[in-house]
Amino acid sequence: MSRQIVSANRLTDGLVVFRTAAGTWSERVEDARVYTAEDAEIEVAAASREATVVVGAYAVDLEEQGSAPSRLRERIRATGPTIAYGPAAVITPRRAAGA
């Protein structure tokens, strides 16, 4: 029996959100409620009626054990880029010069 969570992007800022047990949306995957595939389908349908709150709700498969999504794409989506980016990723001058 596959276990799923329901995710979407928030309309106003586009950030990834997850459906919680309280029927709200959270940015934290830890807050996601776990559904059976059947219940997830119902929840996705409900979310699609919240057209001014979220965009593109869908069900995400979880690994057989644990609470991580099974596909790499969904794991990256849940936790962010796998690389340092922006000011945190600036390469030190000495190395960049290749000197």
Partner 1 sequence: MYRYDEFDHQVVRERVAEFSDQVSRRLSGDLSEEQFRPLRLMNGVYLQLHAYMLRVAVPYGELTSGKMRRLAHIARVYDRGYGHFTTRQNIQFNWPKLSDIPAILKELAEVEMHAIQTSGNCIRNVTTDAFAGVAADEIEDPRPWAEVLRQWSTFHPEFTYLPRKFKIAISGGAQDRAATFFHDIGIRLVRAESGDAGFQIIVGGGMGRTPRVGRVLNGFVAKSEILSYLEAILRVYNLHGRRDNKYKARIKILVDALTLEGFRAEVDAEWQRIRGSVVEVPAEEVERIGAYFADPDWQALADNPPELAAARSRSSAFNGWVSANVMAHRVPGYAAVTVSLKPVGGIPGDATADQMDALADFADRYSLGALRVSKEQNIVLPYVRQDQLHALWQALVAEGLATANKGLISDIIACPGLDYCALANARSIPLAQMISERFSDIARQHDIGEVTLNISGCINACGHHHVGNIGILGVDKRGEESYQLVLGGDATQTAAIGDIAGPGFTAEGVVDAIETVIGVYLAQRQNGEPFIDTYRRIGLTPFKEAINAAR
Residues that bind partner 1 (CB under 8 A): 9, 11-16, 51-52, 55-56, 70-73, 76-77, 80-83, 85-87, 89-93, 95-99
Q: Give which of 2, 4, 6 is closest to 46, Cα–Cα.
A: 6
> Whole-number minimum distance, CB 80 to partner 1, in Å?
6
Compute the distance between CA of residue 7 and CA of residue 73 in angstroms, rounded to an integer.
13
Roughly how many angstroms between the first and final C-alpha of the chain, as a whole number? Answer: 57
Complex with partner 1: residue 52 or 65, whichever CB lies closer: 52
Complex with partner 1: residue 22 or 98, whichever CB lies closer: 98
Q: Give which of 42, 2, 41, 43 is closest to 25, Cα–Cα.
A: 43
> Whole-number minimum distance, CB 35 to partner 1, in Å?
20
Complex with partner 1: residue 28 or 71, whichever CB lies closer: 71
Q: How far is CA 25 from CA 17, 34, 99, in A?
A: 6, 13, 50
> Whole-number minimum distance, CB 95 to partner 1, in Å?
6
